[in-house]
C-alpha cells in the first residue's frame, strides 16, 4: 500500500516538474533590464569592447542586461538585441561585462550584461 502511494506521488511530481520546465523552456522572449544614467543624441553604430578599455574618455550612460529564454535563440541573438538597443539609445560603444549562459537539461539560456557609454 505504501509503495503504491509513494510511486503515485513520485510519478506526479516528475510530471509537474517536467511541465514547469517545458513552460519555461518554450517561452520565447528576451528580457531586458536597464538603469539609465544619462541620455544624449547621436546616430552611429556602437563599438563593442570585451576585454580592453575604450581608448577615449567616456561616460557611462546605462547598465543593461539581456537574457534569452527561448530554446531556439543562440548566443548571437542576444548580442544582436544588445546592439539594437545600444543603437536605439545612441550609445557610442558597449562594454560587455558578462557574456554567459545557464544550461538546464541541455538547453542553454544566454545572458549579456553590459554598460552603454558615450565618448566625451
pLDDT digit string (tens) for the chain, length 120 residues: 555 655 655 666 766 676 666 666 555 555 555 444 444 455 567 888 887 888 889 999 999 988 887 766 677 788 888 889 999 998 999 999 988 878 777 777 888 899 999 998
> CA-to-CA distance for 32 and 18, rounded, in angstroms?
26
Domain range summary for the chain, segments of one domain joined by +: 28-119
pLDDT at 61: 92
> CA-to-CA distance for 66 and 35, rounded, in angstroms?
12
Nearest to 96 by CA among 75, 76, 112, 117: 112
The CATH T-level fold of domain 28-119 is Translation Initiation Factor IF3 (3.30.110)
The C-alpha cell at 7 is 510511486
> CA-to-CA distance for 115 and 36, rounded, in angstroms?
10
> CA-to-CA distance for 39 and 102, rounded, in angstroms?
32
CB atoms within 10 A of CB 30: 19
pLDDT at 19: 62
Amino acid at each position: 500500500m505504501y509503495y503504491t502511494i509513494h510511486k503515485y506521488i513520485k510519478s506526479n511530481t516528475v510530471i509537474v516538474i517536467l511541465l514547469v520546465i517545458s513552460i519555461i523552456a518554450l517561452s520565447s522572449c528576451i528580457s531586458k533590464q536597464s538603469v539609465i544614467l544619462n541620455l544624449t543624441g547621436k546616430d552611429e553604430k556602437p563599438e563593442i569592447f570585451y576585454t580592453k578599455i575604450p581608448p577615449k574618455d567616456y561616460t557611462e550612460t546605462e547598465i543593461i542586461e539581456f537574457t534569452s529564454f527561448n530554446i531556439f535563440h543562440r548566443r548571437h541573438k542576444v548580442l544582436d538585441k544588445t546592439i539594437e538597443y545600444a543603437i536605439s539609445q545612441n550609445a557610442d560603444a558597449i562594454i560587455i561585462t558578462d557574456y554567459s549562459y545557464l544550461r538546464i537539461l541541455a538547453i542553454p539560456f544566454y545572458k549579456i550584461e553590459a554598460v552603454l557609454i558615450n565618448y566625451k
